Amino acid sequence: MKSIIIYYSQTGNTRKIAQAIHAGMSQTGEPCEIARLKDVDPHGLASYDLIGLGSPLIHSREHRNVGRFLGSLRHVDGKHAFAFCTHGAIPGYYFQRVVPAMEQKGLTVIGWKNWFCAAYHPIIPKPYFTDGHPDAIDLKEAEDFGREMVERSQRVSLGETDLIPTLPKGKEYDERYFPVADSFSGDDGSWKRLVVRDSFKINTEKCNYPKCTYCADNCPNDAIDLSASPPIFDRDCDLCFLCEQICPRGAIEYDYEPLENSHKPLNISVLQSSVNAFEAKGLFRRLVPDEKIGWETSFRTLKKPPRFKIDY
C-alpha cells in the first residue's frame, strides 16, 4: 500500500503537522511520501492508494491553491484519502468544504483532523489565543493520526467499510467545528476588493528590486508584478501577507487602517468566544492564559519584517 501526504504551508505549522503525520504513517512499514503542494502534479497520483491533503485556514477556508489543486485532481477514483488542516481560533466550515470536494473527485474520505496553531496575521493580537501550538502533544497526536489512517485504510480495503466515518452535519457539525457560527459575520470577500490595490505599497528606498524578487517569487498566487511602475498587487492577491512578512528589508508597506476598519469577520471577541467554547469541550489546550492575550499589541507592532524566513 502506497501513500502520499500533500500539504501547503505558509508559516510552517501545517508542514510540522504533515511531517508528524508522515512519521506516524511510516511507522506502519508501508511506503509513504510527503510533498509540498506545488511539487505535486494533480494528474499524477494514480500510483497511490492513500492520499492525505493538508492546508492552513486562510480567511475561513482552505488556501486558494489547495482549492485549485483539489479542483484539478484526476485519476483518483476509488482511492482512500484524508483531510487535515491547521488554523487559529476557528476551524469553521473547512471540512464541510473540503471533504465533499474530495468525495466529488471519487476519493473515499476515511478521516480528517484539525489542529489549533499559532497565527501570524498582522492585525491579530499578539500573544494570541493559539500561540505555542503545535507543541509536542500536537505532534504526537498527528503521528498517531497518521498511523491510524494507514491502518484504517488497510482494514477498509479488507472489507471493514463501517470504519468510513460520516462527516457530521448541521448543528452537530457546528458543535464540533464551529461553535460560534451564529455570531460569525461571514466573509464574502468584498472587503478585500475594497482594500487590496490601494493599500499595498513598495517603499522604493528599501526595496532591492531588480536584485531581489523574493516577494514575487514566493507569492502563492503569483499576484505581484515588480516590473510595473509602481509595482502591481493584482486581484489574485489573497491578502495572506506573506510578502509583507518575508521581505528581508521590510520594504512592503501596508495601510492597515482600512483593513482594520473593514475586516468585520475578524471580530476578536468572536475569536475569544470560539477558543473558550473549544476549551470547555476539551478540544483546545490553552497555552497562553487569557490575561496574557495582547489586546493592545499585534504581530506587526511587536516584530518587524522579516517576521518569517521561508526554510522549506
Ligand X SMILES: Cc1cc2nc3c(=O)[nH]c(=O)nc-3n(C[C@H](O)[C@H](O)[C@H](O)COP(=O)(O)O)c2cc1C
Which residues inside 27-56 make contact with ligand X, applying CB under 6 A? 56
From CA 111, how far away is CA 102, in angstroms rounded? Answer: 12
| Inter-residue contact 152 to 163 (CB < 8 Å) | yes
- The distance of closest approach from Cβ of residue 229 to ligand X in the complex, given in angstroms and rounded to an integer, is 27
Asked if residue 21 binds ligand X (CB under 6 A), the reply is no
Report CA dihedral (136, 139, 144, 145) to the nearest 10 degrees: 150
| Inter-residue contact 110 to 152 (CB < 8 Å) | yes
From CA 150, how far away is CA 302, in angstroms rounded? Answer: 42
- The distance of closest approach from Cβ of residue 159 to ligand X in the complex, given in angstroms and rounded to an integer, is 36
Residue 291: partners with Cβ closer than 8 Å, 6 or more residues away: none
Asked if residue 179 binds ligand X (CB under 6 A), the reply is no
| Inter-residue contact 110 to 149 (CB < 8 Å) | yes
Residue choice 4, 70, 76, 240 for contact with ligand X (CB under 6 A): 240
Closer residue to ligand X, CB minimum distance, 99 or 124: 124
Residue choice 3, 28, 60, 153 for contact with ligand X (CB under 6 A): 60
From CA 45, how far away is CA 3, in angstroms rounded? Answer: 10
Residue choice 3, 10, 108, 298 for contact with ligand X (CB under 6 A): 10
Asked if residue 241 binds ligand X (CB under 6 A), the reply is yes
Asked if residue 207 binds ligand X (CB under 6 A), the reply is no
Number of residues in contact with ligand X under rule CB under 6 A: 25
Closer residue to ligand X, CB minimum distance, 15 or 80: 15
| Inter-residue contact 108 to 51 (CB < 8 Å) | no
Asked if residue 57 binds ligand X (CB under 6 A), the reply is yes
Residue choice 3, 11, 19, 153 for contact with ligand X (CB under 6 A): 11
Which residues inside 208-227 make contact with ligand X, applying CB under 6 A? none
Asked if residue 88 binds ligand X (CB under 6 A), the reply is yes
Asked if residue 117 binds ligand X (CB under 6 A), the reply is yes
Asked if residue 150 binds ligand X (CB under 6 A), the reply is no
Q: The C-alpha cell of 137 is what? A: 502533544
Of 57-65, 167-175, 206-214, 246-254, the window that binds ligand X (rule: CB under 6 A) is: 57-65
Of 43-51, 88-96, 135-143, 299-307, the window that binds ligand X (rule: CB under 6 A) is: 88-96
Question: How far does the chain reach from its first CA to its final CA, in angstroms?
Answer: 27
From CA 91, how far away is CA 300, in angstroms rounded? Answer: 23
Closer residue to ligand X, CB minimum distance, 40 or 117: 117
From CA 209, how far away is CA 201, in angstroms rounded? Answer: 14
Among all chains, which residue has been given the C-alpha cell 499595498? Answer: 200
Q: Give the residue among 258, 256, 267 at the shortest CA–CA distance from 299.
A: 256
Residue choice 121, 126, 263, 300 for contact with ligand X (CB under 6 A): 121
Residues at the site binding ligand X, with contacts judged by CB under 6 A: 9-15, 56-60, 86-90, 117-121, 239-241
